[in-house]
Structure 1
């Protein structure tokens, strides 16, 4: 099945007012959870979930998170998070929305094998207000096209960069983290899980760092189309690094702005207590 099949299936779910899960086997694949035709959650092995973004905010640590999950019998502990003051209701809505859109990007950027409707299942961390399927797909396709338009386009699960510069030479905290964790075996997806950041943001930053000479991907030139949507022109580009036979096991969406990448800002942990402000800028600005 091509990406047009995903667009058709998800749009049909919206048109039918479907409530349930649209499973999308593939690489990395994923699932979209709908309520009355609106997407209220999405998840993918190719993108960190809302808990990873929340832990990245440093409002809660791993032990506290595990305790809340036990108290909620394994469910998304929204009530416990707000009751203990780890996050407000509005903050949790933003985190879930960021994770939803990042998972959609991961699915669209990968290979889609099939789509299957399943009823009777519920999302782990639903958004209070759902996204229209057409809008969500448009956002994901725009992001894939933005990555493909960069001078050094990469795929979330393909290139495995090596550091060229020392972390002290980085301009931003995100670059320092990526330089510290890039080892020639980790893809952008692996680095996103390692750092607890959105896979889209990490993919874009890896591409930028390749262009700036902070990272490198030794290997022969290859022609590799980045599939975006049916009937879209095939854009062929350099594939800096060939994939290895084994991948190492294993947040923040950039704001939209004019330019090929649309990236101007990232979400950072609240070192000075202002970390959540970045989330609200993304929520009320033009991130998505």
Structure 2
């Protein structure tokens, strides 16, 4: 598909506005978002097809960490497609993942990354040429993306502490006498999360360890908190850092102060100051 003529993007005050502008132009590009956690937003013909961030497992991470495919197999797939433009097709062609299953995983990773980015404040953004990435979906509109992120934030909100605070809090088992008996009544997924709530891991760390989405893990942690089975770790002098492996940061040429994240948007052709998102 031929791209629509590019129009100046300096009027885009934040990332949602930028994505809307790219949608109107039918652009194919990658938006690099600097900050903590930062990430990349992949746009094809104006629709968002994938997002990647150190704040949540990607489609690749979900496949590997869950044991759906092995590291060796994944390396073989990447070697067969040196451009990395057709990784999804290669996975399906080899019968490693069904087309429908991969579409579900792809969309799940996309929405989860958008949710993770919405919990932080990006520093700047940069629009670049399209960067190859693993995805298998037709793409979603910026409006649908924002609606889904808002729905997830609403589901986690309304409890003690903010959603962002829950995401960065290290949890530990509650020291209650009836803990063993209560654990036995939990679904397996809750028991898995509880087993990883060792006082050193955040929700993000647990998501990477289990090969599950950040939002799903946070929902389970909220349930465990409500039942009194976990509690925020009490800080100590010898506290250990977050344990999950983190991706290398994305470099950008400029930074700018001010709050924004994904569902928060940002202006400019290559980079611009951030504004507060619409959660």
Same fold (TM over 0.5): yes
User: Who is 1:177 aligned against?
Assistant: 192
CA shift for structure 1 position 245: 8.0
CA shift for structure 1 position 106: 0.6
- Bigger relative contact order, structure 1 or 2 (CA pairs below 8 A, ≥6 apart): 2
Question: Rg bigger for which structure?
Answer: 2
Tell which deviates more after alignment, 138-147 or 53-62. Answer: 53-62
User: Who is 1:78 aligned against?
Assistant: 88
Closer, same or farther: CA 87–6 of 1 in aligned 2, 3 Å:
same
Question: Structure 2 length normalisation: TM-score?
Answer: 0.71
What number of residue pairs does the alignment pair up?
224
CA shift for structure 1 position 138: 1.9
Superposition map of 1:182-221 within 5 A: 182-219=197-234
Q: Does the residue aligned with 1:144 lie in a helix, a strand or coil?
A: helix
Matched, 1:246 2:241: yes
CA shift for structure 1 position 56: 5.3
In structure 2, distance between residues paired with 1:131 and 1:50: 16
In structure 2, distance between residues paired with 1:170 and 1:65: 37
User: Who is 1:92 aligned against?
Assistant: 102
Closer, same or farther: CA 202–26 of 1 in aligned 2, 3 Å:
same
Question: Structure 1 length normalisation: TM-score?
Answer: 0.69
Post-superposition Cα deviations, 1:213-245, rounded to whole Å, max 9, x if no partner, equal 11111459xxxxxxxxxxxxxxxxxxxx9xx68
Unaligned runs of 5+ in 2: 1-12, 246-279
Question: Is this contact kept in 1: 2:66–2:210, CA < 8 A?
Answer: no
RMSD (Å), alpha carbons = 2.6
Match of 2:57 among 27, 48, 53: 48
Match of 1:11 among 4, 20, 27: 20
In structure 1, distance between residues paired with 2:97 and 2:224: 33
User: Who is 1:137 aligned against?
Assistant: 146
Closer, same or farther: CA 144–43 of 1 in aligned 2, 3 Å:
same
Q: Does the residue aligned with 1:130 lie in a helix, a strand or coil?
A: coil
Closer, same or farther: CA 42–123 of 1 in aligned 2, 3 Å:
farther
